[in-house]
């Protein structure tokens, strides 16, 4: 297998045109390749500056999870820190987790940040929403988001080899008029859903509104965790 490491977007486009298979940290595909055979040509984005940036409002797709520190919101930092073992986090990448993994541990955090994805199209890079990235498995270059006032993340304990653990991510954003909006994302099994609501009237009203969305159809135990997380995040906001 020949591994290319482009250092510019144009070089990356050339690699794609030649049929290169994009890889992140290869933590998810290595076993499959050993079983089914390695591709002739693969491509890593770790030499591409746009894909390796870690900034206050953006994160590159080739960033390994253990590099995600205090420059990103708490919800994203905690999501990255909950993935696998330390050895996994030293090699697994943002793009690999979001696009290459069925668990997509970072997706709830990205959704509550109202993140947009920058992807590499056949002609040029462009920005799109996360739903399109998940559906079409685009080559992700990075994420950009709106920095929240507060955010939180909770991942329930789970047995190794069992069903994916429940994840609840929350964030509160301010609009141009100073009003606050709560975003909640839940991973239940392999499914991820997200909702948002105004929250200036307090936790009870925000939760009543969320109960009338798809969140209200989740199992009772899951809704209990959502209620706890919403109450905690709004209490944190009130204490600021």
Q: With cut-offs at 50, 70 and 90, classify the pLDDT of residue 240.
A: confident
Does the reported pTM lie above 0.85?
yes
Enumerate the H helices of 37-162 as residue ranges.
74-81, 86-89, 94-95, 107-112, 130-136
pLDDT at 26: 58
pLDDT at 30: 65
Long-range contacts (CB closer than 8 Å, 24 or more residues apart) made by 210-213: 210/184
Within the chain, residue ranges assigned H as helices are: 9-17, 30-36, 74-81, 86-89, 94-95, 107-112, 130-136, 203-211, 220-238
pLDDT per residue over 145-170, tens digit each? 989 999 999 999 877 777 899 999 99
Phi first, then psi, for residue 5 (nearest 5°) are -130, 85
Could you give the CA distance from residue 69 to residue 67 in angstroms, rounded to a whole number?
A: 6
Residue 33 has pLDDT above 90, yes or no: no
* Total Cβ atoms within 10 A of residue 200: 14
Tell me the average pLDDT across 44-52.
92
Quickly list H helices, 164-219. Answer: 203-211
For residue 35, pLDDT over 80 is answered with: no
Residue 26 has phi, psi (to 5 degrees) of 65, 15
Which residues fall within 8 angstroms of residue 112, CB to CB, at 6 or more apart?
75, 148, 151, 169, 170, 171, 183, 184, 185, 194
Lowest-confidence range among 19-28, 104-113, 212-221?
A: 19-28
Residue 25 reports pLDDT greater than 60: no
Owner of token pair 């986090």: 89
Q: How confident is the model at residue 122 (pLDDT cuts 50, 70, 90)?
A: confident
pLDDT value of position 31: 64
The mean pLDDT value for 2-6 works out to 89
pLDDT band at 27 (very low <50, low <70, confident <90, very high): low
Percent of the chain residues topping a pLDDT of 70: 97
Contact 167, 155 (CB under 8 A): yes
pLDDT of residue 28: 60
**Which residue has better confidence, 240 or 87?**
87
pLDDT digits (tens, 9 = 90+) for 178-214: 899 999 999 999 999 999 999 999 999 999 999 999 9
Segment 54-76, tens digit of pLDDT:
988 999 999 999 999 889 999 99
pLDDT, average across residues 34-41: 81
Alpha-carbon gap, residue 106 to 25, rounded angstroms: 15
């Amino acid at each position: 297998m020949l591994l290319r490491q482009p250092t510019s977007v144009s070089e990356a486009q050339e690699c794609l045109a030649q049929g290169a298979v994009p890889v992140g940290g290869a933590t998810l595909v290595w076993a499959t390749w050993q079983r089914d055979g390695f591709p002739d040509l693969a491509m890593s984005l770790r030499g591409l500056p746009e894909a390796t940036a870690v900034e206050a409002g953006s994160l590159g797709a080739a960033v390994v999870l253990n590099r995600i520190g205090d420059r990103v919101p708490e919800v994203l930092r905690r999501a990255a820190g909950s993935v696998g073992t330390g050895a996994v986090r030293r090699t697994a990448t943002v793009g690999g987790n979001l696009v290459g993994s069925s668990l997509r541990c970072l997706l709830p955090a990205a959704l509550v940040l109202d993140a947009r994805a920058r992807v590499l199209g056949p002609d040029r890079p462009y920005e799109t929403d996360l739903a399109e990235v998940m559906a079409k498995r685009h080559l992700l270059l990075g994420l950009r988001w709106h920095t929240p006032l507060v955010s939180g993340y909770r991942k329930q304990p789970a047995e190794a080899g069992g069903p994916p653990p429940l994840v609840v991510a929350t964030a509160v954003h301010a609009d141009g008029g100073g009003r606050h909006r709560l975003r909640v994302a839940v991973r239940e099994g392999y499914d991820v859903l997200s909702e948002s609501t105004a929250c200036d009237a307090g936790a009870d009203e925000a939760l009543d509104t969320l109960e009338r969305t798809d969140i209200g159809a989740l199992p009772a135990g899951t809704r209990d965790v959502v209620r706890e997380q919403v109450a905690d995040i709004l209490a944190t906001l009130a204490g600021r």
